[in-house]
Amino acid sequence: MKLKDLLKGVDVIQYWADLETEITAVNYDSRKVTPGSLFVAVSGFVTDGNQYIPMALEKGAVAVVTAKKPDGDVPYILVASDRLALALIGSNYYGNPAEVMTLIGITGTNGKTSSTLILKHILETTRGAKVGLIGTMENLIGAEVVPTERTTPESLDLQALFARMRDEGCSHVIMEVSSHAIALERVGGVHFHVAAFTNLTEDHLDFHKTMENYCDTKAELFCRSDKCVANMDDAWFARICAKTDKTVLTTSAKGVADLYATDLELLSDGISFKAVCDEDSARVRLPIPGRFTVYNALTVLGIARQLGISLKEAAEALKTAKGVKGRVEVVPTPGKPYTVLIDYAHTPDGLENVLSSVRGFCKGRLIAVFGCGGDRDPIKRPIMGKIGVDIADYAIITSDNPRTEAPMAIIEDILKGVDSNKKNYEVIENRPQAIRQAMDIAQKNDIIVLAGKGHETYQEIHGIKHHLDEREVVAAYLEETRK
């Protein structure tokens, strides 16, 4: 492909390169450059891609795209935004694959993963569609699993994934769209048919600095979509919707909205409610417990409505939807009179939601095992400490993914939010030991909630990932206590 064709739509300030040059590949990682490549130098937070321009040229790059004019005799294209340029060049390189599929983007602090997987089930069940999914846990092309490292891949990799989904016959793509993906232009140039907002709670403030910035970044997704769905029960709903003039379908589990829930039943094995939208209504039954499941269901019902799927069709499909690994996941405990649940809750709102939901159907004591991640917003740590100890009958404060921070330093931050006069908690830094302690003290009808790790099967300590699957910890404990 000619360089001039790759640059379509890109805001070029200046160039010193032959636009007729044939480009054989596009790279933003200098280590992957091959002869004939176009190298896009992205200014990162840890390293600046511009410092790798000499390496890229040495390996055969024929031109460089950059937001900083390079020194020396370098064939370059100077652009206004290197990140947006990478996104648009990637789209051009792969033949604008997203344009031939229906794209749905879901953003918010919590509920994205569950909502995307439930919506995929609805589209497959009601339309027989082959659906691509891009998310935190995994990427899917139909039933095929494609490994992922980020909620939303880097823009060039995203376009490559779109192209693969297009080539393999996907008619729809559902994406979890993180605030980082929006701010860093990973979805630059991508147009969505429907966008949905679940909720907004304190998270990623190490990156966004303020909740207002966090909210406004999320709201950008609505500006890139034809139709929108928004949870009007959320405190940030008005600010989100104020950023767009697009059609917004509102949802609520507390009052009347465009689509709302009434006659709600929270059960130990799921939820049930009557969904009402205009003159239509349908009884919804979803075999995933928790009040937050009601909101996830409303989100996907709203998206389905915006896609032309009737309430009755969507509600019927929900009856056969399955729970998501690591989201209120029941871990088998044969022979034991208590229940163990695993949930990915790692924010104040997420922890409060899961513990409050379990409290609604727990007949015994609620035992919470939780911690906070390292190298992330420290402000939420004492908040989560207070929530965990206040809601649970007994809490065991432990490590999550401390990453490069000292585990006990994180725990000490958590304890700042805990009333020291309370006696219903203890600290066990080692997470497997904390889980075993919870099972040691569990009694009949108790429910243990292991919060924070969810689907993850590792724990990152001092920058090193160690294998840790909480299901295996539970199973090993059961095996040992049977002897």
Query: Containing H/E element for 75?
Result: none
Q: Strands of 62-209 (E only): list them.
A: 63-66, 76-79, 102-107, 131-134, 139-141, 144-146, 172-176, 192-197
Q: Which helix (H) or strand (E) holds 472?
A: helix 470-482
Integer Cα distance of 102 and 107 in angstroms: 17
pLDDT given for residue 205 in this prediction: 62
Please state, in angstroms and rounded to a whole number, the distance separating the CA atoms of residues 432 and 441: 15
Domains of the chain (ranges plus CATH)? Answer: 3-93 (3.40.1390.10), 97-318 (3.40.1190.10), 329-482 (3.90.190.20)
pLDDT for 379-437, tens place per residue? Answer: 999 999 999 999 999 999 999 999 999 999 999 999 999 999 999 999 999 999 999 99
Model pLDDT, residue 323: 78
Q: Take residue 303 and report the two structure tokens written for it.
A: 């998206």
CA distance 252 to 282: 15
Q: 72: which 2 tokens?
A: 């020396």
DSSP percent split of the chain into helix, strand, coil, nearest 5: 35, 25, 40
> Please, which pLDDT band fits residue 228 given cuts at 50, 70 and 90?
very high
pLDDT for the residue numbered 180: 85
Task: Please state whether beta strands 12-16 and 76-79 pair in parallel, antiparallel, or not at all (unpaired).
Answer: antiparallel
Average pLDDT in the chain: 93
CA dist., res. 294 & res. 297, Å (int): 5
Check residue 331 and give left, alpha or beta (phi > 0: left; psi -120 to 50: alpha).
Answer: beta
Say whether pLDDT at 355 is over 70. yes
Tell me how far apart the alpha carbons of residues 193 and 123 are, in angstroms, rounded to a whole number. Answer: 14
One DSSP character per residue, 167-205 reads HTT-SEEEEE--HHHHHTTTTTT--EEEEEE----S--H
In degrees and rounded to multiples of 5, residue 57 shows phi and psi of -65, -40
Q: How far apart are CA 326 and CA 437, in angstroms?
A: 21
Q: What pTM value is reported for the model?
A: 0.79
The answer for residues whose C-beta is within 8 angstroms of residue 2's C-beta and 6 or more apart is 19, 20, 21, 22, 23
Per-residue pLDDT band at 447 (split at 50, 70, 90) = very high
Tell whether the model's pLDDT for residue 274 goes beyond 90. yes
**Residue 20 belongs to what H/E stretch?**
none
Give 208's pLDDT tier (boundaries 50, 70, 90): low
